[in-house]
């Protein structure tokens, strides 16, 4: 191998090494030329909407009699709600579902048969109202209708907040402001100035019961069983560092 070729190989190798070092240096410089911070926002609020459902039913060997009993119970429930100041537009009854009931029996010869024992009719009532405290009370006291001969099963109420979208916007703004303040303090402590925002990521919105030990989830939690709730959100920002 002649001398010129050796010199060419060495020169080319040095250039490649220089390029690699330059890229590495630039990456390292870029890494330390920005600030990544996380801000957060947390607030307590009270639900302003309640959703409560209950199911009632009637059974009879004669279908017509079962329908009449169910309709009578429906009128009793309607009167119960209206007497307790629940607006008629706040509740709705579902369509009626029906099933035929059978009992398995075995005669003295060991032969098994299925005997028809009647019809079971069920209907659901759903209440969605802004009168949270009143409906919450009724959901607990609805069992008093059992004394009137109703077969009714009350579900636990669910609680919602009608201004949740506005709350989210305000909290995201607050979390962003908190992150920006943190970034400015870090830049100030390092004798630098805060440059432009180069990246922003919002964390998931979490809603848990107030003063609870509910765990946050990656997809975001939304508690529906507590009237008093706590919402939280985070904001991750990255700023350039000015000299």
Tell me the C-alpha distance between 69 and 130, whole Å: 31
Q: What is the pLDDT of residue 26?
A: 44
| Mean of all residue pLDDT scores within the chain | 85
In tens, the pLDDT along 188-232 reads 887 888 888 899 998 889 999 999 888 888 878 899 999 999 999
Of 31 and 156, the structure prediction assigns the larger pLDDT to 156
Question: Distance (Å, rounded) from C-alpha 62 to C-alpha 68?
Answer: 10
pLDDT of residue 243: 64
Question: Would you say residue 2 has pLDDT above 80?
Answer: no
* 3-state SS track over the chain: CCHHHHHHHHHHHHHHHHHHHHHHHHHHHHHHCEEEEEEEEEEEEECCEEEEEEEEEEEECCHHHHHHHHHHHHHHHHHHHHHCCCCHHHEEECCCEEEEEEEEEECCCCCEEEEEEEEEEEEEEEEEECCHHHHHHHHHHHHHHHHHCCEEEECCCEEECCCHHHHHHHHHHHHHHHHHHHHHHHHHHCCCEEEEEEEEEECCCEEEECCCCCCCCCCCCECCCCCEEEEEEEEEEEEEEEC
Report how far residue 71's alpha carbon sits from residue 83's, in angstroms, rounded to the nearest whole number. Answer: 18
Q: What is the pLDDT of residue 69?
A: 94
Q: How many CA atoms, within 13 angstroms, populate the side-chain half-sphere of residue 75?
A: 5
| pLDDT over threshold 80, residue 158 | yes
On whether the CB atoms of residues 227 and 132 are closer than 8 A, the answer is yes
Distance CA 208, CA 224 (A): 8
Residue 171 binned pLDDT confidence (cut-offs 50, 70, 90)? very high
């Amino acid at each position: 191998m002649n001398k010129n070729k050796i010199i060419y190989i060495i020169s080319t190798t040095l250039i490649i090494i220089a390029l690699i070092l330059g890229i590495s240096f630039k990456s390292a410089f870029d890494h330390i030329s920005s600030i990544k911070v996380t801000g957060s926002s947390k607030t307590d609020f009270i639900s302003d909407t309640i959703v409560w459902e209950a199911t009632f039913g009637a059974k009879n060997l004669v279908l017509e009699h079962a329908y009449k009993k169910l309709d009578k119970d429906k009128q009793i429930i309607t009167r119960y709600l209206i007497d307790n100041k629940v607006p008629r537009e706040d509740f709705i009854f579902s369509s009626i579902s029906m099933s035929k009931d059978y009992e398995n029996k075995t005669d003295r010869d060991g032969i098994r048969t299925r005997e028809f024992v009647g019809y079971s009719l069920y209907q659901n009532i759903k209440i969605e109202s802004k009168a949270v405290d009143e409906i919450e009370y009724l959901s607990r006291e609805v069992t008093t209708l059992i004394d009137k001969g109703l077969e009714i099963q009350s579900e636990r109420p669910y609680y919602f907040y009608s201004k949740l979208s506005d709350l989210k916007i305000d909290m995201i703004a607050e979390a962003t402001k908190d992150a920006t303040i943190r970034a400015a303090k870090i830049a100030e402590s390092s004798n630098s100035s805060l440059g432009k925002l180069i990246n922003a990521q919002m964390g998931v919105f979490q809603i848990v019961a107030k003063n609870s030990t509910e765990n946050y989830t990656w997809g975001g939690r939304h508690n529906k069983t507590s009237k008093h709730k706590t919402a939280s959100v985070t904001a991750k920002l990255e700023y350039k560092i000015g000299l």
